[in-house]
């Protein structure tokens, strides 16, 4: 499941990059520019939310390790060794 979330994040980020490139070119008609901008804002918010959630998981794992309670254990819901976040 984590792999699917990462893939979705990467796909959303790639789509956002494409939108930015199109908007920077300045060749889109106004209505398409507005629609692209709105979609870009949605993607940006979605990517930020996912990254914030991932950051929080990493932060919790580090806190447990720093406290010495995480010897060989990760917080519930965190990926184990050999898995991707």
Residue 40's pLDDT is what? 98
**What is the residue extent of each domain of the chain?**
2-55
Residue 12, both tokens: 């959303």
Instruction: Output the average pLDDT for the chain.
Output: 84
Q: How far apart are CA 48 and CA 32, in angstroms?
A: 24
Residue 63 is predicted with a pLDDT of 87
Residues 6+ apart with CB under 8 A from 15: 39, 43
Instruction: Say what the pLDDT of residue 20 is.
Output: 98
State the pLDDT at residue 65: 86
- Nearest to residue 48, comparing CAs of 80, 22, 12? 12
Share of the chain above pLDDT 90, in %: 62
Q: Which residue has the higher pLDDT, 65 or 30?
A: 30
């Amino acid at each position: 499941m984590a792999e699917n979330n990462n893939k979705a994040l990467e796909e959303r980020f790639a789509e956002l990059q494409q939108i930015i490139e199109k908007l920077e070119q300045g060749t889109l008609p106004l209505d398409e520019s507005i629609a692209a901008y709105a979609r870009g804002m949605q993607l940006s918010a979605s990517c930020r939310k996912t990254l914030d959630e991932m950051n929080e998981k990493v932060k919790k794992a580090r806190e447990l390790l720093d406290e010495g309670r995480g010897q060989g254990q990760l917080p519930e819901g965190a990926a184990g060794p050999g898995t991707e976040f």
